[in-house]
Structure 1
């Protein structure tokens, strides 16, 4: 009993960075399930969220219209309301001013329209897709399907390319590719009852990354977020990545204790 109690206590204590200092923050033990794992010779960090029970949101601009840019800026805003992040990750490509490249909805307000056409870079490597957070659900939806029958999304972010579409890898991914980056993205179930965020622990190809979502996690839909900027906030693992200023960020919000 004592060991079990100690494990429960330890699971609720995490070390996370705030500005230049450090603070201990207590997290609900089951808000987000994060773990490190290996698959086919590559390392990954996986964070699973139940959209039906957790408060998952997208963050981009503060009330003054300035991009948050960093996880600690979001946390500072939440702390004024007695809340904090239990998990966060950069969530979609953006321009130099950190405006989203594609479709973006925050708290029901559309800030950027859907971009349906092909274009340069990874974003324009069709098919791309939209990560939609609805009422108790979270789904990755291919862009043209999304545009043809727009779902009700409280939050949405468009990115690309799709990693997995209806259980199939993106047709342009090559097993023998030499393009390797630290990559991050999200996969969901068909029902939208499970959202799984992944960041590679080493540089991987698109084919490797997509295969992990499909074959390692059993997810039929997955969307690429980024590779030049891949950042994770997972206090459960003692992790708070810092670096270049970010655009859209996805996070799970919990009450502070």
Structure 2
């Protein structure tokens, strides 16, 4: 029985390698540890999900996994993907399957989302990007998927001007950055880090010219490749990599 189980595990590992080109690995910088998962948009199907077929928030990776399986899709990777309200619905721009389900939010207010400039992560065909919200509006891009969050961590090769190196707020954080037009880096800290430490990881560690904060405290990762399936709190939008079963 043990040999059979080992053989099955080996086959599952090979199946993952054949179906997804994600590389999830540990990375350290300035004494802090992170998990970094990279994807090539020319090879992988990257989507964003929020509501199920009944119009209710999925709320967790497990629910999303089951919902996708019912549609003949396999979930290979997921991460919480942008800020949301108590109803688990997005508070900013949200585009799913080419449909704008929540318009862009340019209002002022308190909290991380409103630390201007905030930004948008989008997928359009085989390209993806991270862009300041106002720049995204001006670009005229019509994405297949998009989510708005804030603040931007890295803007055109520089850390957000309001993120101070002397900041003391420490949280588990996750975000997304573009290594190039086709290569996306999703990052979650393994422990509590400051905004500046997190931003510097994208800028100096991953060489991302633009990166966006997705959230803190609720930051969660689904990556069976490395044995991760977090459930810390109910989630709103989730970025996912899927494939047909």
Do the structures match in fold with TM over 0.5?
Answer: yes
1:87 to 66, 77, 93: 77
Aligned partner of 2:29 in structure 1 is: 39
- Can you give the 5+ residue segments of structure 2 that lack an aligned partner in the other structure? 1-5
State the TM-score, normalizing by the size of structure 1. Answer: 0.88
Aligned partner of 2:197 in structure 1 is: 208
Give 1:124 shift: 0.1
**Could you tell me whether the CA contact under 8 Å between 1:31 and 1:86 is conserved in 2?**
no
**Could you tell me whether the CA contact under 8 Å between 1:233 and 1:241 is conserved in 2?**
yes
1:252 counterpart = 2:241:
yes
Aligned partner of 2:107 in structure 1 is: 117
Whole-angstrom CA distance in 1 between matches of 2:194 and 2:112: 13
Whole-angstrom CA distance in 1 between matches of 2:67 and 2:85: 23
Instruction: Tell me how large the CA RMSD over aligned residues is.
Output: 1.7
Give 1:150 shift: 2.5
- Can you give the 5+ residue segments of structure 1 that lack an aligned partner in the other structure? 1-5, 15-25
Give 1:163 shift: 0.2
Give 1:99 shift: 1.3
Deviation readout 1:32-67 (Å, 9 max, x if unpaired): 111112111000000001111100000000111000
Whole-angstrom CA distance in 2 between matches of 1:157 and 1:82: 24
Whole-angstrom CA distance in 2 between matches of 1:81 and 1:99: 22
Q: Which aligned segments of 4 or more residues in structure 1 are displaced greater than 6 angstroms?
A: none
Whole-angstrom CA distance in 1 between matches of 2:81 and 2:167: 24
What SS does the corresponding residue of 1:163 show, helix, strand or coil? strand
Alignment of 1:134-213 (within 5 A): 134-189=124-179, 191-213=180-202
- The count of aligned residue pairs is 237
Whole-angstrom CA distance in 2 between matches of 1:199 and 1:81: 28
